[in-house]
Every structure is written in C-alpha cells, then in structure tokens.
Structure 1
Amino acid sequence: MKRLTQSECLPYEFMPITGWGRLPNGAEIVQYDAPMFFSFTEHSLLRQYPNMRAECHWHIDLEFTHIIHGHMWYFVNGEIVRLEEGQAIFVNSRQLHYGFTEDGTDCEFSCTLLNPARMSAPTAVYERFVMPLVTDETMPYVVLSPDDVHGNGLIAQIMRLHDAKFGQLKHATLPAARGMALANDTASLTVLSCFYAILHELTTIAQERGDGTAERIKRHPHVATLAMMVDFVQQHYVHQITLAQIAAAGSVGRTTCAAIFRELLGQTPIEFVNDVRVRAAAELLATTQLPVSAIATQTGFSSSSFFTRTFRRLMHITPLSYRNGMLSSNNMDNS
C-alpha cells in the first residue's frame, strides 16, 4: 500500500467515537453496543486516528483486532508484532496495548471488545473457564492466522460479531456512521453465542500450550512504570501537566520518563499529553455543541489557538470542520 498524503484523507472519515474516558483506576471506559451482554465493535481505518495510531491503553475487556485490508503493527506490554491482512490478534484482559503504523501506510480493521465478567455466564462457568483465561500470565496476547485451525475458528467468530452490528460489507468498504448499537435486539444473542465459541477456542489454545504450566511471559521492565504514567495523564489531562509530574507518577526521574515514552510509545511525554487531549476534544466536538474555546479549556489546552493548531496537526482537519463532518455523517445515517 502507498503512503497516504493529507489530501487523500477523505473528509467524511473521522476518528471513531467510543465513549472516551477513564475509570479512576485508569481503565478505559467502553460504551458497549450490546447492552445485555457488554460487547463493542468498531470498523475503522488507522488514518482516522491522530498520528495513525491508537492510544496506549488497557481495559478489563478481551480485545480482538482483525486486519481487513493492509497491515498494522501492534504493541502489547512492550512487545511489538506485525499483523498481516487476514490475521487478527487477541489481547487478554488488563494488558497495555495499541495498534499503529511504522511505514505510513493505512490499515482497515475491525476491533471487538468483550467484557468477560458480564456475559451472563453462570458462576461455575466463570470460575472454571473465564477466570483462568483472564488471569493467565502465559497468554497476554495471541496472534491469530486463518491457516491455523484455532486461529481460523476465532477469526470466524470475530467476523460474526462484526456482521451482527454492521451487516456483511463488501471488501474494503467502511460502514456508514451509526449509533452505538447492534443491528437489532436479537443480535445480542449472536454476541453471547460468539463469546462461548471464543472462550472454547482460547481455552483449547491455553491447554495446548501446557494447561497453565507454560513459562510466564516476562513484560518489558518498564511497562508497569509506563502504565502508571499513562494512567496519570489520562486522569489529569484536563489540568496543566508538567514532565516532572508525569515522571513522579512513575517514580522515575524526568530523563528516564522521557526515555521510556520514547522507547515504548515513540512519543515524548508532552506529545502523549496532547494526543490524549485531542482525542477527548474530538469526543466533545462530536457529541456536544460547546464552543471550540470551551472545549479547549475543558481538555487542558492553554489557549484556543494552540488547541486548533494541535488538533489540525494530529487530525489533519480543523476542529470546526471535524464537527461539521461528524454532523453530516450522523444526518446521512439518520435519513
């Protein structure tokens, strides 16, 4: 795939809005689209995200990212893997992760989150199958390939979850913008069916790896420190934040703080702060009628002009154009 220029970013394609926010413990807030069974699915392009990268984050949900067209690099706890077209990745609960590009090429993908504690599983099922999976330190992630029997089975379930929300789409065709809901109420049963099928495949993979006796996968030595600093930023981005404060959150010095962000995220700490603020601002632009100046203040920017410059640099569009584009997409979807 070729490198995309700014002019090739289609005006009606915008960063997915997912009920952005953080819980007090730093976990991502997920606005589920299957309220009975707590799942969320999005269909996206990397170019819809600032700097063509998702935000570094963690959550309690099981995550499945399926590469529909192109390729993507994926960070999990300090390890980086490249995902090719047709492949997918399972990321276990409470793992620090994000997807991104290293060569500037775009990637079309689907991402599904399943809350393992809210799938109506009987207590016996949860204790026997769900809890051992989400606490398995030998399996923070699994790359899934269609030519592997278990990988193929899991990818099929991921596609079923995608189709339950968006319907079957033509290759490389993004769905129209829509609300955070499944296609219909009975599709929630599809979510539940897929969850149990996925649980079966993942349990089988874990058993084939040694039934819990496999060697614990060691995290990058700085992942825990990075997680504390990321959590601090995500909880305090609405205020002015200094490098010293970010470093203190990870109990390291400013030089070490900057080195960890550069090594693991490819950003300076302040670049990460602005990234978080822009994502929060995009949510407010799409879901409120607040003036740009008020949004700048509420998301921690020192001035409206600095907010506009930063938003345009990361999103390749002005805040007002972004808002107008989101309104047009929503109106088209409701017509």
Structure 2
Amino acid sequence: MHFGFSRKKTECDFICILLHPMLLSPLPSFEQDFILPVIRNQNFPYLFLHEETSWERAIYENQDLNIVKKMAEFINNNYMEKLSLADIAAAGAVGQSKCCKLFARFFFQTPTMYLTQHRLTKSMELLLNTDLPVIEIALSVGFGSASYYTETFRKWIGKTPSEFRKEGKFHSQ
C-alpha cells in the first residue's frame, strides 16, 4: 500500500490501472470507448510505451503476444464461420497445445471459450439493435442451431436471448 500527499499536503488517492496491450486490439470498440477517453484526457497521467527504450520494446516484441494477437484477430474476423481449435491454432502458426496455453496465459480462458464469448457479445448487439429473429442471429454469429445458441446464451448470460432482448428494449425506453 502506498501513501502520498497532494501539493496542498492533504491525503490523496492513487489509482493504478495496468492494461495489457492485447486488450486494445481484438475489440476496437473497447479502445474507442475506454482507452481513448483516458489517453485524450490531460488530467489522467499514464505511461505510453516507446519502442526506443529496450524494456518497453521487449513488450512490443513479445512473440507469444504477437501470436495470440493473430489468433484473437482471426476469431474476431471469422467468428461467424464454423471454427475449430485447429483453425485457431493455424492462424497463429502454432500447435493446438500451444494455442491453448497462450489463451490461458493472456485471456485466462480457452480459445473455444473466447470464441463463444465473442459470438455471444456480437449476438447481444444484434438482439438489442435489430429485430432479426433469434434463429437468424444465432446462425449469423456462428452457432449451428437456435436451440444450441439459446442453451449457451442461458448458461452464460442467465436468461434466454428473447428475455435479454425484451429487457434491453424495456430499459432503453
């Protein structure tokens, strides 16, 4: 725990947020919604890594980070297709075992869980912003059937897609 004083010699709070660079790339909306407002606000001090400094360059050059970034981008760009673990691993030019280890290290989940989470996120956007039927949404985000989609949605979100849509429309009024 740290203790500090302001210029007026009164107690102050410290907030430290450490963001892994991987968080910025897979979801452009994350960067736009959360990172850019902080970076553009002169009242928030932050450290921007520069490639000229050796320890900072090492972060940029981390091969595992580059590999997992390629695999995450592959999922983000192809989630609507039928994807296997082999497909995801091939996107990073690694074996399936290394693929799983990298996802566990950087995302604290399996590649399949990452894919499912991404599909569900995309489906929630469609549920709230369109009037497409649930089956059409399920198929458009890569689920094989509406029943599997509904089962997965309920397991992860705690309600059916229809209930989620209804609640979302109710709260937006």
Coarse TM-score class (shorter-chain normalised): 0.7 to 0.9
Distance in 2, matches of 1:282 and 1:304, equals: 14
2:160 is the counterpart of 1:318 = yes
The match for 1:230 among 72, 75, 88 is 72
Aligned pairs (5 A) from 1:237-252 = 237-252=79-94
- SS in structure 2 at match of 1:113: helix
Q: CA deviation at 1:260?
A: 1.5
Distance in 2, matches of 1:263 and 1:90, equals: 16
2:55 is the counterpart of 1:215 = yes
- SS in structure 2 at match of 1:308: helix
Aligned to 2:4: none
2:11 is the counterpart of 1:89 = no
Q: CA deviation at 1:270?
A: 1.3
Q: Residue type matched to 1:112 in 2?
A: F
Distance in 2, matches of 1:215 and 1:258, equals: 27
Partner deviation per Cα, 1:302-329 (whole Å, 9 max, x = no partner): 0001101111111112111110111011
1:196 to 1:319, Cα distance in 2 relative to 1, 3 A: closer
Aligned to 2:128: 286
Aligned to 2:36: 114
- SS in structure 2 at match of 1:241: coil
Aligned to 2:42: 197
Q: TM-score, normalised by structure 2?
A: 0.74
* Equivalences, count: 149
2:117 is the counterpart of 1:275 = yes
Q: CA deviation at 1:215?
A: 3.3
1:91 to 1:262, Cα distance in 2 relative to 1, 3 A: closer
Q: Which has the higher helix share?
A: 2
The match for 1:260 among 102, 107, 118 is 102
Q: TM-score, normalised by structure 1?
A: 0.40
Q: CA deviation at 1:87?
A: 2.3
Q: CA deviation at 1:214?
A: 6.8
Q: Residue type matched to 1:281 in 2?
A: S
Distance in 2, matches of 1:198 and 1:234, equals: 33
Distance in 2, matches of 1:314 and 1:86, equals: 34
Aligned pairs (5 A) from 1:123-138 = none
1:216 to 1:285, Cα distance in 2 relative to 1, 3 A: same
Distance in 1, matches of 2:91 and 2:82, equals: 15
Q: What is the RMSD of the two structures over their aligned residues, measured on CA atoms?
A: 2.9
- SS in structure 2 at match of 1:240: coil
Unaligned runs of 5+ in 2: 1-12, 25-32
Partner deviation per Cα, 1:90-111 (whole Å, 9 max, x = no partner): 659xx2128xxxxxxxxxxxx7
Identity %: 28
Distance in 1, matches of 2:109 and 2:55, equals: 32
Q: CA deviation at 1:263?
A: 2.5
Aligned pairs (5 A) from 1:29-108 = 87-89=15-17, 91=19, 95-97=21-23
2:151 is the counterpart of 1:309 = yes
Q: CA deviation at 1:257?
A: 1.1
Structure of greater relative contact order (alpha carbons < 8 Å, 6+ residues apart): 1
Distance in 1, matches of 2:138 and 2:53, equals: 51
Aligned pairs (5 A) from 1:134-149 = none
Q: Which has the higher strand share?
A: 1
Distance in 2, matches of 1:237 and 1:214, equals: 36
- SS in structure 1 at match of 2:117: helix
Q: Residue type matched to 2:42 in 1?
A: A
